Amino acid sequence: MRLATYRTGKVFILYDADSLCDADGAPQIGPHSLDPDHWRRSGRVVGEAPGRGASLFLEAGAEQWVLRPYRRGGLVARLSEARYLWTGRERTRAFREMRLTAELFDLGLPVPRPVAAGVTRHGLTYEAALLTVRLPGAQALAERLASGEADAALLREVGRTVRRFHDAGLDHVDLNARNLLVAPDDGIWLIDLDRCRRRPPGAWREANLDRLARSLVKFDAGAAMGDIRQGYSAPAPA
């Protein structure tokens, strides 16, 4: 994946130059492409995901994109829900997540293809958003658990997929049942790499699994962790 950057005014954009050049009917990337109101005005919003930041599903030619604005949570959101401290373009959360996602995508790991990251500077602060390709027909693991459609084989595949990411050094700081997606073929995908990074093996791996276990309890599916750990510990295919 060949990433390129450009700046227009106070907006900085990092984008996948190769894919956008070849995309069939995809919109041009610019400051407007990271603005939710632009997509609403153009009538290209085809859905919306729950959660903080309200990710939008967008019609983008032959594929759909997901636009996710960065939003703060917790007490700090009372001061500013959407702005972060500016410490340089490459240190923004959007640029870091875009580069990490592209790196994992190039390794053949199941992450959505990143399209673009946009950052708008406001003096000492900035706002940001990320565009990725939507996975057609995918459901959050949380939804499959709630509907009773997550059998032992699927849960073991979740474990195997998490192990693949761990073997690549990915410390996913928010590993939960909403950030694991199940494709129609029961393949597992990992999303939302904000604040994540690649690290040498360490205690963070178990911390990731513990966080996932706590997430499953919230969905009354704590017992699912047994099958997930079984898949996680299984030998990798030759």
67 C-beta neighbours (distance < 10 Å), count = 28
109 C-beta neighbours (distance < 10 Å), count = 17
> Would the CA dihedral through 56, 59, 60, 65 be positive or negative?
positive
- CA atoms of 157 and 154, how far apart (whole Å): 5
Say whether 24 sits in a helix, a strand or coil.
coil
- CA atoms of 216 and 225, how far apart (whole Å): 7
Catalytic residue among 167, 174, 185, 192: 174
CA-wise closest residue to 133 among 24, 7, 8: 24
- CA atoms of 107 and 115, how far apart (whole Å): 17
Q: Active-site residue 174, yes or no? A: yes
DSSP code, position 179: S
Any idea how long the chain is? 238
> Would the CA dihedral through 211, 213, 215, 218 be positive or negative?
negative
Contact 81, 72 (CB under 8 A): yes
DSSP code, position 97: H
Contact 134, 44 (CB under 8 A): no
Active site residues: 174
